Structure 1
Amino acid sequence: MSNINKNNFKEAIILAAGRGIRMRYKTKFIAKPLVKIQNKHILEVNLNKLKANGVKNCTINTSYKHKTIKQFIKNFNYKNKFPLINATYEINRLETGGGIKNALPYFREDKILVINGDSLLINDKNSCPINKLYSYFDAKKMDILLLLCPIRFSIGYNGYGDYDRCSNSLPFEINRRKESNRVSLVFTGWQIIKKELFEKIKIHNFSLNLLFNEAEKKNRLYAINHVGSFLHLSTPKSILQVESYLKNCNHIL
């Protein structure tokens, strides 16, 4: 593990352009990241985590109900010096990869912390996921570093897992789940990706899966485990599950 420089300029993008269809009535008037947990916006919780861990610059890509996010950003910037927030607007959604490519002018570093707008993390104070991702990212041997969480600690998640661990090293190489199989690790939506990967793509509308698949073929897709809980907020039911979990473990976001 490399030593992380506390003065290292960290920058992130929060993916917030999704329609949030599965949230049904909860996203009728607002963008999905503005749905509330414990009376706090999902976006607010993630921005506070970024601020607490030294992220100075954050870009938020928007599309559906983009004006609600712009108003939120205005209010957040008024109360907080960091992170400095920029917003991009996609008239037609560019998917996850295209959304990041569209936002590249806002990034000055060669690696980007990428966060799904419907993902929250609970972690031990001695195991910060942001610092772990930066510490373990090694540009010489990897293009992408994913943060994975065991299914049993993934609250609100209702799936078969995403990846299998291929080695005992840290970080470790991974393989994507084969159809109909069940694996033990879930992708949290938190990751670090080399900026140059987006610069090489000539199309403008594409999923991050395109980059994941290419990195896996080249044995340059790695992961680390999240120590804590992953809160997956995708449906009204998942929100109830997460609220119940937080209450039972007496945790305040």
Structure 2
Amino acid sequence: MAPLTDTRPKSLVEVAGKPLLDHAIDQCAGLNIVVNTHYFADQIERHIDGRNIALSDETDLLRETGGGLKHALPLLRSNPVFTMNTDAVWRGPNPIATLQTTWSDDMNALLLMIPRKDAVGHIGDGDFDIDANGRLTRGTGYVYSGLQIIRTDGLSKITDESFSMWSLWNDMLKDGTMYGVPYDGQWCDVGRPDSIAIAETMLESAQDV
């Protein structure tokens, strides 16, 4: 996202006049929210000051997606938990609610998936396929939205401080407990400066309906 991130974290880059972080927070009403911070952490701290949001400080080490979740466990008050990337915006039903209504106790993870045709601004193939029972396999039909419900029990077996979410997902894929549900709306991957205009066009079209 450079040069926009030369002076601020990606999560504070604005889309339609609102930081990406706030686009994500708006989806999470009623939840206990924990925000991981690393790059320009002081800016994020000031941005959320006065809100009922906890900070998981990673300024000492960038822990990646899995390590960041493990580091934040003392601040989380549930298992399973939601995890959400901030580099996207949504058009359609609340994505958190989509996961909540689909979740069942036989799942270890439930990922919100975007059909490749609806993955606005995304470059490249998809990440997974979904079988008739909702289980995920590696594939190209669906793009991972960056939002999931996941059980955190497996984190206790991982001793590394920095690791990818795949360290949890690989075992779940093998034992058939990793599921996906398609999102019935649009999602825009805001990973590059030119994605901002694409995302804003998507959001504006929602207002015209």
Bucket of the pairwise TM-score, normalised by the shorter protein: over 0.9
Is the CA contact (8 Å cut-off) linking 2:89 and 2:199 kept in structure 1? no
Is the CA contact (8 Å cut-off) linking 1:156 and 1:239 kept in structure 2? no
Q: How far 1:200 moved relative to its partner?
A: 2.8
AA of the residue aligned to 1:101: K
Q: Partners in 2 of 1:245 and 1:120 — Cα distance?
A: 9
AA of the residue aligned to 1:132: T
Is the CA contact (8 Å cut-off) linking 2:5 and 2:13 kept in structure 1? yes
TM-score (normalised: structure 1): 0.78
Indicate the percent of aligned positions where both proteins have the same amino acid.
Answer: 29
Q: List per-residue Cα deviations over 1:78-115 (Å, max 9, x = no partner).
A: xxxxxx21111211201110001001001121111000
Q: List per-residue Cα deviations over 1:1-29 (Å, max 9, x = no partner).
A: xxxxxxxxxxxxxxxxxxxxxx0111111
1:117-128 matched pairs, under 5 angstroms: 117-124=86-93, 128=94
Q: Partners in 2 of 1:70 and 1:217 — Cα distance?
A: 39
> Is 1:100 aligned to 2:57, yes or no?
no
> Is 1:87 aligned to 2:55, yes or no?
yes
Partner SS, residue 250 of structure 1: helix
Q: Partners in 1 of 2:180 and 2:174 — Cα distance?
A: 15
**Unmatched 5+ residue regions in structure 1?**
1-22, 78-83, 178-182
AA of the residue aligned to 2:103: F
> Is 1:37 aligned to 2:15, yes or no?
yes
Is the CA contact (8 Å cut-off) linking 1:95 and 1:207 kept in structure 2? yes
Q: Partners in 2 of 1:150 and 1:211 — Cα distance?
A: 23
Q: Figure out how many residues of one structure are paired with residues of the other and give that number.
A: 208
Could you tell me which of 170, 175, 183 is aligned with 1:218?
Answer: 175
Given the superposition, is the C-alpha separation of residues 246 and 122 from structure 1 closer, same or farther in structure 2, using an over 3 Å criterion?
A: closer
> Is 1:64 aligned to 2:39, yes or no?
yes
Q: Once superposed, what is the RMSD of the aligned Cα atoms?
A: 1.6
**Unmatched 5+ residue regions in structure 2?**
none
Could you tell me which of 161, 171, 191 is aligned with 1:234?
Answer: 191
> Is 1:175 aligned to 2:175, yes or no?
no
Aligned to 2:5: 27
Partner SS, residue 120 of structure 1: strand
> Is 1:197 aligned to 2:150, yes or no?
no
1:100-179 matched pairs, under 5 angstroms: 100-124=69-93, 128-139=94-105, 141-167=106-132, 169=133, 172-177=134-139
> Is 1:207 aligned to 2:164, yes or no?
yes
Partner SS, residue 207 of structure 2: coil
Given the superposition, is the C-alpha separation of residues 232 and 217 from structure 1 closer, same or farther in structure 2, using an over 3 Å criterion?
A: same
Partner SS, residue 68 of structure 2: helix
Q: List per-residue Cα deviations over 1:52-98 (Å, max 9, x = no partner).
A: xx22x1001111111110010115x1xxxxxx211112112011100
Is the CA contact (8 Å cut-off) linking 2:80 and 2:149 kept in structure 1? yes
Q: How far 1:231 moved relative to its partner?
A: 1.4
Given the superposition, is the C-alpha separation of residues 72 and 232 from structure 1 closer, same or farther in structure 2, using an over 3 Å criterion?
A: same
Q: Partners in 2 of 1:246 and 1:109 — Cα distance?
A: 32
Partner SS, residue 135 of structure 2: strand
Q: List per-residue Cα deviations over 1:173-211 (Å, max 9, x = no partner).
A: 11112xxxxx22110000001021222322221100111
TM-score (normalised: structure 2): 0.93
Q: Partners in 2 of 1:206 and 1:147 — Cα distance?
A: 21
Given the superposition, is the C-alpha separation of residues 34 and 214 from structure 1 closer, same or farther in structure 2, using an over 3 Å criterion?
A: same
Given the superposition, is the C-alpha separation of residues 112 and 208 from structure 1 closer, same or farther in structure 2, using an over 3 Å criterion?
A: same
Q: How far 1:249 moved relative to its partner?
A: 4.2
AA of the residue aligned to 2:55: A
